[in-house]
Chain A
Amino acid sequence: DTGVSQDPRHKITKRGQNVTFRCDPISEHNRLYWYRQTLGQGPEFLTYFQNEAQLEKSRLLSDRFSAERPKGSFSTLEIQRTEQGDSAMYLCASSRDWNTGELFFGEGSRLTVL
C-alpha cells in the first residue's frame, strides 16, 4: 500500500495524558500536513512541513501541541496534557512540492479524551 498511513487509528485516553500520532506520507511527497476534524465539520488546518521544515502553524495549535518531521519522511503529532476538547479526528495528508492543492489524506487517527 503506497498511500498515506496513520497510526494508531483509534486512541482513547484520560484527560491529562500525553498522546502521539504518527504519519507516514506517500514516499515521493515532500509536503506533509496535519488537519483536525470534529463531527459535522470540515478538516481544519493545524500545520504543514516542507521536507523537515515546519513552515506554518495554525493558531489552533496551542503550546500543548507539537509536530515534528525530523528526517523529512514520517511525522509525529504530540498532544500533551490532553483535554476533552482535543477529542477529534487527526488527519495527515501529503502532496508534492508543486502544491496544486491535491492533498492525499490518510484514514485519520481518532482521539477520544475521557
Chain B
Amino acid sequence: GQQLNQSPQSMFIQEGEDVSMNCTSSSIFNTWLWYKQEPGEGPVLLIALYKAGELTSNGRLTAQFGITRKDSFLNISASIPSDVGIYFCAGQLNGNKLVFGAGTILRVKS
C-alpha cells in the first residue's frame, strides 16, 4: 500500500531557529497537505498544496509540492514555543482518503 516516510522523526531546537522537515513517498499524489497535532487534540490543517512545484506560505510556514509528486517539505521560520507538536504530512491521490506519514515531533527550547 501507499506509505509516506517523514524525516526527521523528532527535533529539539532552540527558539528562534528555522525548522525543516520532509516527506517522501514511493507513490505519486495529486495533493500534499501538512497537519499539526497537539496532545489530546485532532490534527489541524496547516497548508495544502495542489500542483507539482507549488510553493505556498502560511505565516512563518512554507511548504513545497515536489515536482516528481512524490515528496514535499515544510519549513518553519523563527520557531516559537507554541510551534511544539507533531507535524504530519498527508497525500491524496484521487479526491478520496488521505494517507498520513508517521509524523515529526517538534520540541522547542526557550
Contact = CB atoms under 8 A, between A and B. Distances in A.
Given A40-B102, A42-B100, A101-B33, A93 B42 contact: yes
Interface residues of B, number: 23
A35 B43 CA distance: 11
Contacts of B97: 33, 45, 48, 56
Contacts, number: 61
B19 interface: no
SS class, residues of chain A in contact with chain B: loop
Interface in B10-69: 31, 33, 40-45, 48, 50
Contacts of A4: 42
Contacts of A104: 45
Interface string A54-73: 01100000000000000000
A77 B50 CA distance: 31
B73 interface: no
Interface in A7-45: 33, 35, 40-45
Report the 4 A-B pairs with minimum CB-CB distance, sorted nearest first: A105-B42, A42-B100, A101-B92, A45-B97
